[in-house]
A and B are shown apart, each in its own frame.
Chain A
């Protein structure tokens, strides 16, 4: 079987799960597509999952209420072993890329990380992935009875429902207790369209000048055109915006139809998170700013003058 570990949040199946199902269908690897749903109170997620999978395995346990890398790795490895999985697909989220290597070690399996394409020939799985802060695409290959891969979000089209819903099965899991104690969590939610879902993103950099300007320019423009809001690390580090909005190497990776960067220099670590956007639009007062090298449309100018004009014009 191809084991796909479902990503879900707030009682809903994540888009990344549907993308992984497509990756599984297109991969040419052997076996039925099996979704593994881990968590507590996940009945609705399991039902959503059943619509796209051949079968759904449900681990609905209090011990799984909170994600933890050691516990997740043990659960996934156990099911992969018992089901003789040929392939284990895990989301390329922060957490997925954190526990997937542990699964690979437990299964003594090769690990293909953060892949954007998958194709199989016999027991060989070939994949593409980005390297050098997403400036290079490389082709990698592994073989073996079981291979573990994480799938980069946004790289595959979300799967449409299958002809018939898959059966659901409750599973028993032998879970370790984590040695890490979580002493407090702060969830940073952006009130707008989630960056991973937004078709248009307006991002502000340090060039917008202040948190007040950020609200006025970046949020103002985003609200007018129905866009999500992003920020550079410089802005997040300065405490102007929550981390949830950070785009880049240590923030989110996004691929919207349009990415509008206001007062953003375009450092490599930022480009690695947004460089695959379909259209890049940059407004920066420095004609030499690196962001212009990757821009489809650019205006050399002061955000204090251009953005209010844009906001006014976009209202019409």
Chain B
């Protein structure tokens, strides 16, 4: 089996977001591999370490020059090689899936692993759109995965709970918290990763244009009252809070 893992680079979850002009300004922000994609990379490695019969794991990233760092992280975790399609342009997920599908086809990929939701654009669409372009099934929000021959089984979250599934490869799986605990790259592996192939592909050879225009971004703030009640006397604090909720905020009868 050949696995393609998709890797994005996003601000560290705790980093403050700021907006300049019409877009989020990432200057000076610590960027990391998207946590949910990291679950995907980790799962690919675990499938290989189990009896997944995994021939090769390739990581793909589309994005600006610095996305190389996220690919290096994936290589240091244990991915075999990486492909970077460098662009400063922002692609909506449905357009981007054209590139993913082309790479999956030319690489002879059987399984694509990626995160369930992007921590920057909050999109959940890339896995499904890539699956559709390839004519493959997809399982989203997966938190348990096993492989036997060319059959994947596992569990994933759905609208009203979760369900067990079984699917024959090829397929797209989106990962989330709970699937695994991603490993930290060790120093020797970070050194080794420097020698691994990181191929640069030209965006132009994929014939893809974004279909969505991004016009503006604003920080969402709702002024909060931040009214603090002294908790030293629990009785008095409880009564004061209830009074405020009933008579000031008018949210309780």
Contacts and interface: CB of A to CB of B under 8 A. Distances in A.
Contact of B238 (A95, A237, A312): A312
Contacts, number: 254
Given A104-B94, A269-B13, A295-B226, A113 B219 contact: no
B224 to A, nearest CB: 5
Contact of A100 (B17, B125, B220): B125
A175 B235 CA distance: 62
Interface residues of B, number: 78
Contacts of A94: 140-141, 157-159
Nearest to A103: B132
- Interface SS of B by simple majority: mixed
Interface in B124-160: 124-126, 128-129, 131-133, 137-141, 153, 157-160
A191 interface: no
A129 B239 CA distance: 39
Interface stretch (B46-54, B105-113, B161-169): B161-169
Nearest to A268: B13
A310 B243 CA distance: 11
A297 B238 contact: no
Interface in A285-304: 292-302
Contacts of A154: none
Interface stretch (A24-32, A40-48, A242-250): A242-250
A243 B164 contact: no
Interface stretch (B68-76, B81-89, B244-252): B244-252
B93 A111 contact: yes
Interface stretch (A50-58, A139-147, A208-216): A139-147
- Determine the interface band of chain A, counting residues with CB < 8 A from chain B: 35 or more
A279 B251 contact: yes
Contacts of B164: 182-185
Interface string B83-107: 0000000001110010000000000
A187 interface: yes
A181 B165 contact: yes
B208 interface: no
A272 B120 CA distance: 12
Contact of B137 (A179, A237, A305, A313): A179
Given A180-B137, A243-B157, A268-B13, A136 B94 contact: no
A281 interface: yes
B129 A102 contact: yes
B66 interface: no
A243 B158 CA distance: 10
- Interface SS of A by simple majority: mixed
Nearest to B14: A268
Nearest to A185: B163
A309 B234 contact: yes
Contacts of A281: 241, 245
Interface stretch (B1-9, B196-204, B210-218): B210-218
Given A93-B159, A97-B124, A299-B229, A131 B217 contact: yes
Contacts of A131: 24, 120-122, 217
Contacts of B239: 309, 313
Given A297-B249, A300-B231, A111 B132 contact: no
A136 to B, nearest CB: 5
A185 B156 CA distance: 10
A12 interface: no
Interface in A153-201: 178-189, 199-200
A309 B122 contact: no
Contacts of B121: 131
Contact of B245 (A249, A297, A298, A300): A297
The winner among A105, A182, A184, A272 for most chain B CB atoms within 10 A is A105
A101 B241 contact: no
Contacts of A200: 251-252
A239 to B, nearest CB: 12
Contacts of A314: 242, 252
B225 interface: yes
Contacts of A272: 122
Given A138-B214, A182-B165, A233-B177, A258 B123 contact: no
Interface string A101-134: 1101110001111100000000000100111111
- Nearest first, the 5 closest Cβ-Cβ pairs linking A and B are A301-B231, A309-B238, A183-B164, A258-B251, A110-B211
Given A188-B162, A189-B160, A300-B228, 9 more contacts: A105-B132, A140-B215, A179-B167, A181-B165, A243-B161, A268-B13, A272-B122, A298-B228, A306-B237
26 contacts: A9-B159, A93-B159, A95-B159, A102-B128, A104-B94, A105-B132, A111-B125, A113-B124, A132-B24, A132-B120, A132-B122, A134-B122, A139-B214, A141-B215, A182-B164, A185-B162, A185-B164, A243-B157, A279-B245, A283-B231, A292-B228, A297-B225, A297-B245, A305-B234, A309-B234, A314-B252
